[in-house]
Amino acid sequence: MPHPTSPVHLVAALDGAGWHPAAWREPSARPADLLTAGYWTDLVQEAERGLLDAVTIEDAFQLQSDRPWAPDDRTDQVRGRLDAVLIASRVAPTTRHIGLLPTAISTHTEPFHLSKAIATLDYVSTGRAGVRIQLALRQDTAAHVGRRTFPEITPERRDDPEVQAATAAQFEEAADYVEVLRRLWDSWEDDAEVRDAATGRFVDVDKLHHVDFAGATFSVRGPSITPRPPQGQPLVAALGHAEVPWRFIGRSADLGFVTPTDADDAARLVAAVRTEQAAAGRADETVHVLGDLLVVLDDDAATAADRLRRLDERAGAPLRSDAHVFTGTPAQLADLLADWQAAGLSGARLRPAVLPHDLEQITRALVPELQRRGSFRTGYEATTLRGLLGLGRPANRYATA
């Protein structure tokens, strides 16, 4: 558990025009630019100017929807997005320090493909890559790929044994998926590339390894076609709302996101992840747990509350989110983060309600407030994402002494 006086870690969660459905209609929004490289570059560079640890970039295998379990027919909200991994690869050369954590859907993709994509991102960013693993269990999403089916999942069926069994099986598959990623990243030893022009020997074949993974739903022989990434192992992150995904975080992730409602709830969620981490034999490893917050920030609390009311009116309904919605000032948010950190969280993943407005409130107001309190960095102290989070470069599992 991190000490309450240790620096707080901050991640910005980037999604479209912002996390409020009416964000695209705000004066500061740039809806015409959502599918341009410049838009995403501007956002990530702003996050880097604020010295944030990383950004996550949302993605999915279905159009955005006002209904979490099914598509809708609304035309007054943002629909459509770019591929998160490709966004990160495009933005990476325009930044120098900030970590990049695109979302990738494990349910309908192959780990071999993702392993080389994230390894490539780690090379492009010179050691700042990670990936947020996300599952996709909706029927309409599965129909896009056509390889499998799932039971209908609705809030009313959450306790249905069929739904619970299918969910647990998919998280088991996701754990296998991450294990394959990690094995493939290690399948080239660090010095496997000889590059000896005099002898004509480019690769030491004895330092390339078959991973020979066989799981319940897929098998992968390896090795990768991409040499070991600069970080050795890019970071794996995941969001968890309940016991099964908390187990996945404890077993497979380096960075977990949870959704507390207050400090007591934060302590409960951290304890749940730590229990799962210990059960997976990882008690001695550092797994950072960050609390997710959807933020509406302004210089005074009344202005923030008025803005949220205006956004809700435009959307036709109050904002709903799986994460706690914070409305107030950057100083008030700093107080909340201190309480959550004292409860055991390493920091927060902040979801700006409107982009770029709330991101700029984070970088230009919250960060200086945290710096005044001595709880946030005043400069980047490492050149890799692992370094920013205090994680060492892991040894290669296949290398011999």
Per-residue pLDDT of the chain (401 residues; tens, 9 = 90+): 334 468 999 999 999 999 999 999 999 999 999 999 999 999 999 999 999 999 999 999 999 998 888 889 899 999 999 999 999 999 999 999 999 999 999 999 999 999 999 999 999 999 999 999 999 988 888 888 988 888 888 877 878 888 899 889 999 999 999 999 999 999 999 999 999 999 999 999 999 999 999 999 999 999 999 999 999 999 999 999 999 999 999 999 999 999 999 999 999 999 999 999 999 999 999 999 999 999 999 999 999 999 999 999 999 999 999 999 999 999 999 999 999 999 999 999 999 999 999 999 999 999 999 999 999 999 999 999 999 999 999 999 999 85
What's the pTM? 0.95
Q: pLDDT for 195-251, tens place per residue?
A: 999 999 999 999 999 999 999 999 999 999 999 999 999 999 999 999 999 999 999
Q: 332 lies in which domain range?
A: 9-388
What single letter denotes the amino acid at residue 123? Y
Element (H, E) at 387: helix 385-388
Domain membership flag for residue 346: yes
Tokens of 353: 């309600």
Element (H, E) at 14: strand 9-14
Tokens of 392: 């060492």
**CATH number, domain at 73?**
3.20.20.30
Distances (CA, A) of 118 to 17, 92, 214, 278: 25, 12, 22, 27
Domain membership flag for residue 395: no
Kindly tell me the burial class for residue 322, based on how many C-beta atoms sit within 10 Å of its own C-beta (0-12, 13-18, 19 or more).
exposed
Domain membership flag for residue 35: yes
Q: pLDDT for 122-155, tens place per residue?
A: 999 999 999 999 999 888 888 889 888 888 888 7
Domain membership flag for residue 4: no
Distances (CA, A) of 87 to 11, 92, 121, 281, 339: 17, 8, 10, 35, 34
Instruction: State the total domains in the chain.
Output: 1
User: Could you tell me which residues come within 8 angstroms of residue 396 by beta carbon, excluding any fewer than 6 positions away?
Assistant: 186, 189, 190, 228, 232
Domain membership flag for residue 394: no
Q: Using an 8 Å Cβ cutoff, are 296 and 258 in contact?
A: no
Number of helical H runs and strand E runs in the chain: 12, 13
